[in-house]
Structure 1
Amino acid sequence: MSAALAFRPRTLAAWWPAGLLAALVACAILAPWLAPMDPDRQNLMARLKAPGFEARGALYLLGSDELGRDVLSRVIHGARVSIVVAVSSVLLSGVVGVAVGMLAAYLRGWVETVLMRLVDIFLSIPAILLAIITVAVLGPGFINVILVLALTRWPRYARVAYGQTLALADRPFVRLSRAMGASTPRVLALHILPNIIGPLLVVATLEFGLMVLFEAGLSFLGLGVQPPMASWGAMLSTGRNYIATAWWIATFPGLALFLLVLSANLIGDRLGDLIGKGR
């Protein structure tokens, strides 16, 4: 009995971030059905109303913004934007970065020199500055934000994949596979990638939270997702002008942003601990 009681708090501490992240992802997926109102519907007669305000049978549970739009509905739909952008940019940057890192470590020679110097160049530029410059050139928009974030973050995956592949490239099972005539793509995909996927998953989990912050930062500056599409960063940007009179406009999207990034980072830390113990 005492062992069970001792185990339960540790279990909850380990899994509540995953539950929180799952709940936020579910809100993003089910946004059209969970949101009580159209997030873009304006009602100037109900502008800047405090949480709990009710008008014409509509309850503004988290209040309304400067155009009378329901804050709760916009927060729920904003979760969809943040999560889709983060997942897409993580997948795209991960594929590019892992491919570059593995090829550099496996082929060596001039390929390694060229690819890793390219990685060094990208890593020498502040990521947020590179993102701002690139999106200013390409123009703001949903797809452009994904491309920009992927462009700025692939070198981190390349570095991890490079180091992990370098440690495995001369292992007996890899040399045996090459001796039997396996092609480079086959060796990398079937023999090396499965053995380095753990550290890459940790990086991807931590990068997910960072991508959410980057997307919010770009939207805050007006370079991300454009109105009328709901975005947490854009809501924070608008809410700062009303922080003294309508605190709820910025507080609730900021809280949602905090919880999403926190849960992703805690899951990444937990994965890192599990992989470290496995070794």
Structure 2
Amino acid sequence: MSGLVAQRITFSQALVKTSRWWPVALIAMFVAAAIFAPLIAPYDPNAQNLVGRLKPPGTVSRTFHYWLGSDELGRDVLSRIIYGARISLTVAFASVILSGAVGVCLGMMAGYRRGWVEMVIMRVVDVFLSIPAILLAIITVAVLGPSLLNVILVLVLTRWPRYARVAYGQTLAVANMPYVRLSAFMGASATRVLLRHVLPNIIGAITVVATLEFGLMVLFEAGLSFLGLGVQPPTASWGAILSVGRNYLANAWWIATLPGACLFLLVLAINLIGDFVRDYLDPRIH
């Protein structure tokens, strides 16, 4: 009986380890496809073949072999999905890094300085958090105009308050530690105290927020592109492909289904990694 229990425990541990690694492998595959898109994609994502429009997966038309089918202009869906990964990951990486940098700096400053600095920064955070993020993003992009750079700026503008809120709460807890107060008493500047003593202690919580925000950034970019407010045609984007594919669901399901599946798998893998990072950094679990 004890041997059977031990085997079950060993199997469950192996299953847990496997479940932790496949999201990493999946994200690595998407990242590699985005980086090496010109080498991997079989065709130019914007190359048209009107004779081969709306062909199902596996069809050959002229010089095109449509492994995942073609769209309404005869463009290869596989090539457009591969190049679309570039847009989604570029926007996600840039927006997470920039919004994280802005939010963490302001949050730490509010938690350490206190007083009127805290009041001003945190009231601004409250205002931004009270507005639906997707609504604010749509309004801002509509005003600035749709483009890749504007999408990144809009996501940074709408998502930095979440980092600021977490950094503020964590800084309040760390700022009263004896070694932090002693460092300030010995004459260390606020910048040195924040970078040397506060930031290393709150980076774990910020990392958890960043991993979860990464998936949201992918979804926000796809949503804006779906509404025509993201990158503009003919640039390939998963959201833009979904927007076109919804008009052909009856007779060309692959146009919307396949990039939608890629979007689902990428966000799922990111969220699973975020859960693992949260559990790993939570001292109550160990």
Report the TM-score, using the length of structure 1 for normalisation: 0.97
The aligned counterpart of 1:36 is: 42
Determine the C-alpha separation between the residues in 2 that align with 1:7 and 1:30.
35
Aligned residue for 1:277, secondary structure, equals: coil
Determine the C-alpha separation between the residues in 2 that align with 1:50 and 1:172.
67
The aligned counterpart of 1:48 is: 54
Determine the C-alpha separation between the residues in 2 that align with 1:120 and 1:56.
58
Note if 1:229 corresponds to 2:230. Answer: no
Q: Tell me the percent identity.
A: 67
The aligned counterpart of 1:254 is: 260
Note if 1:15 corresponds to 2:21. Answer: yes
Note if 1:196 corresponds to 2:202. Answer: yes
Shift of 1:23: 1.1
Determine the C-alpha separation between the residues in 2 that align with 1:190 and 1:224.
39
Determine the C-alpha separation between the residues in 2 that align with 1:244 and 1:14.
37
Aligned residue for 2:106, secondary structure, equals: helix
Match for residue 78 of structure 1 among 84, 102, 116: 84
The aligned counterpart of 1:142 is: 148
1:118-129 superposed matches below 5 A = 118-129=124-135
Superposition misfits of 4+ residues, deviation over 3 angstroms: 1-6
Instruction: Tell me which moved more, 10-19 or 142-151.
Output: 10-19
Match for residue 158 of structure 1 among 146, 157, 164: 164
Aligned residue for 1:59, secondary structure, equals: strand
Shift of 1:162: 0.2
Shift of 1:240: 0.3
Compute the RMSD of aligned alpha carbons.
Answer: 1.2
Determine the C-alpha separation between the residues in 1 that align with 2:200 and 2:260.
37
Which consecutive unaligned segments of at least 5 residues does structure 2 have?
A: 1-5
Determine the C-alpha separation between the residues in 1 that align with 2:26 and 2:104.
29
Report the TM-score, using the length of structure 2 for normalisation: 0.95
Determine the C-alpha separation between the residues in 1 that align with 2:16 and 2:123.
44
State the one-letter code of the partner of 1:22: A
Which consecutive unaligned segments of at least 5 residues does structure 1 have?
A: none
The aligned counterpart of 1:215 is: 221
Shift of 1:56: 2.9
The aligned counterpart of 2:93 is: 87
Shift of 1:7: 2.8
Shift of 1:58: 2.7
The aligned counterpart of 1:108 is: 114
Deviations 1:153-186 (A, max 9, x none): 0000000000000000010110111112111111
Contact 2:51 2:61 in 1 (8 A): no
Aligned residue for 1:36, secondary structure, equals: coil
The aligned counterpart of 1:267 is: 273
Matched positions, count: 279
Determine the C-alpha separation between the residues in 1 that align with 2:113 and 2:89.
35
